[in-house]
Amino acid sequence: MKKLNIILLSLLFTLPFRLFADEGMWLISLVQTYNYEKARAIGLKVPADKIYNENSPSLKDAVVSFGDFCTAEFVSKDGLLFTNHHCGYDAIASLSTVEKNYLDNGYWAKNRSEEIPVPGLFVKALVRMQEVTDSILPKLNGLDGQERIKKVNEIIAGMSANANPDKKYKVEIKPFYNGNQYFMFIYQVYNDVRFVGAPPSSIGKFGGDTDNWMWPRHTGDFSVFRVYADGENKPTAYNETNKPFNPKYHLSVNISPLKQGDYTMIIGYPGRTDRYQTSFGLNYVQNIQNPTYINIFTAVTQATKSEMDKDDALRLKLASSYASQMNSLKLFQGQLDGFARINPVPMKKKEEADFTTWVKSLPASEQGQYSNILSDLESIYKQYEDIAKPMFYPFMSTSLLPSMQFAGLLATLRDPLAKKGAKEELAKAIDETRISINAEKEAYISLIDQNALIAILKAYNKNVDPAKQASIMKDILSTHTNSDVAIETYVRSIYAKSFIATSDKMMAFLNKPSLKTLNSDPVMKLYDNLLNTGMEYRGAFQQLQLKQQAATRSYLKGIMAMRGLNTMYPDANFTMRLTYGTVEPFDPRDAVKYAWQTTANGIIEKYIPGDEEFDVPQALRDAISKKNYGRYGVNGELPVCFLSTNDITGGNSGSPIMDANGNWIGLAFDGNYEGTACQYIFEVPMNRTINVSINYVLFLVDKVYGAGHLVNEMTFAQ
């Protein structure tokens, strides 16, 4: 009877944790076990063994990790590879020059001899994966903290070496469910990746920061590469004689019209989620972490924007770094907006109450391992609250501002400067520092740094207990009764006196470095004081993290026992996942309804001549005005982007979105603003994946830029 009661309680307790059909980033090898029938129920037609198969070609062989930060897909038998424009951006930038500006003007190789090698770029193809939990967990009994981490790393190193004796593969062993489960992944790595083509950034980044996270969207976010291999189709370093790689499987293209409710499936490498966070953790994110991040990023972006608006040349110079900062700011604010709408803390408290009831239903001998977990986690997060702000403000100040970054680079010269007779070591260190500073100094504007630092220090003073502030703050604030005046006066003064605040003076210092000069510089003194303060709190923060990881691991162990793995998916961790859903619109707020698809008409509606974000190349404007869309058009219009209910996050960028038959219908490239809280909670009515339609992509490649030879490589679904 006791066993029956436990089973009944377990069934009841799965209800608050229930998953919607669209939610989840599922391990691709386990789809047949956990999800296949659910996916079939909403339209999937691909046999399970055609999704993941270690012995014959399957969809998993068409999808690769792109540089360990994005996803890409093979779309021809000759290794033609598509990913997002923003994923290929750095590679394209590295190949661009003033004379050959591929970012601004685009590029299309007319033949394979014009495909350009990208040094350092690689793709990683999954060969197979297997669970190895039983080879790891039993060896960790009684271990915690750093001791456990050290042992895990030791075990993983040994297992990886044994699984790859001839070093043909890359082996990764990763934890799941906070270390309650482990899987081994065997990858083949291809290092000869060549740039084939991309539209100009005015298409690939159309809408810029304004449209980032937003719908409706009209961004042609794609770029094209090709993977090369040796004569035996094996990975090798770049060589002119290498041949296009022949993947085991490549995706077929479907340009048939989509309709609302159509099944969609995405395979990719999502980066990080925290879906099993507790109410205490969400409260910390909502009230401590994100507000602090927002204060700091707001200070930096406002300081940058105010100067960019005064000078077009400066605006262009700082556009990339500003967009990156705004992207972070919009994400953190979007998460808070999502929390305000969803109110997830009470939802999590309900789950925790059900967990507590379940624990009490267990035999007395089994209750002890779970009985104090939630109170431990509550205590840990309260301690985080005491430490987080005093750590975040000084640390982020020293990492976000170029002048502080310069100070950090110059600080590496202290050891060789202090050593007698270390001329070679010092010369090498100076050369490395000079290179690093030269690489960053173009993005440095002294006035922007000053204004940002003033705003950050004001927020620091306002939001952090004086007893926990850097000691230098006391000296700063003692100079004037008005703290804001004191901070501004101090910052202006040190930048006027510091050699670090001026590029020419920094270069002069590197020509004749002095430890005394370095240590006495006022910007360096501020950097040292802020960094040391951050480090003081970081030690305590890291100790709390170890305790939190152990408590969360125990909590997840209990949740897994209570719910059963068939109702759970592991948090994202840059391993291959499958997510399924449907094409759907959404209603973001009262009286506002968004359609699920945009068309080329919207590009012209948004067009602002000469604007950095909304300019449209003449070639595309001409093509749209003629409406000669050919086979890529649908009822006289050209689909551009569409929405789906798939569950994705960072790392999925560039992932193929496929139809019910596994055919390629577009590339995932963003999520909607209303769904930015998806790192922590998936909200079915609001979460949407934003995809660029394959119709628009191929129209650009074929009709606008004349690269039809690439389209001719592809297989089209019948």
Enzyme catalytic residues: 86, 221, 653
Tokens of 383: 């301690």
Helix (H, G, I), strand (E, B) or coil at 227: strand
Q: Which helix (H) or strand (E) holds 333?
A: helix 312-342
Report the C-alpha dihedral over residues 558, 559, 562, 567, rounded to 10 degrees: -150
Residue in 220, 114, 88, 195 with CA at minimum distance from that of residue 623: 220
Q: Say what angle helices 522-563 and 364-371 make with each other, to 10 degrees.
A: 160
Tokens of 297: 């990023």
Tokens of 101: 């500006």
Contact call for residues 696 and 641 (beta carbons, < 8 A): yes
Residue in 683, 637, 689, 635 with CA at minimum distance from that of residue 666: 689
Tokens of 26: 């599922």
- Distance in angstroms (rounded) separating the CA atoms of residues 544 and 26: 30
3-state helix vs strand vs coil in the chain, percent to 5: 55, 15, 30
Identity of the residue numbered 175: P
Half-sphere CA count of 72, side-chain side, radius 13 A: 32
Please enumerate, as own/partner, the contacts of 457-463 that have beta carbons within 8 Å and a separation of 24 or more: 457/397, 457/487, 457/491, 458/483, 458/484, 458/487, 459/295, 459/296, 459/299, 459/393, 460/393, 460/394, 460/397, 461/487, 463/292, 463/295, 463/389, 463/393
Neighbouring residues of 176: CB distance < 8 A, sequence distance ≥ 6: 27, 182, 183, 570, 571, 573
Contact call for residues 30 and 566 (beta carbons, < 8 A): no
Q: What is the distance of C-alpha 48 from the center of its chain?
A: 29
Neighbouring residues of 563: CB distance < 8 A, sequence distance ≥ 6: 10, 13, 14, 17
**CB atoms < 10 A from the CB of 468, how many?**
16
**Using CB atoms within 10 A of its CB, is residue 540 exposed (0-12), middle (13-18) or buried (19+)?**
middle
Please report the beta strands in 562-675, taking only residues with DSSP state E, as ranges in sequence order: 577-582, 586-589, 592-594, 597-599, 639-644, 656-658, 664-671
- Distance in angstroms (rounded) separating the CA atoms of residues 237 and 191: 6
- Distance in angstroms (rounded) separating the CA atoms of residues 395 and 451: 18
- Distance in angstroms (rounded) separating the CA atoms of residues 89 and 205: 10
- Distance in angstroms (rounded) separating the CA atoms of residues 704 and 640: 14
Q: What is the distance of C-alpha 195 from the center of its chain?
A: 22
**CB atoms < 10 A from the CB of 432, how many?**
13
- Residue carrying structure tokens 């690769």: 64
Helix (H, G, I), strand (E, B) or coil at 372: coil
- Distance in angstroms (rounded) separating the CA atoms of residues 50 and 46: 6
Contact call for residues 473 and 464 (beta carbons, < 8 A): no
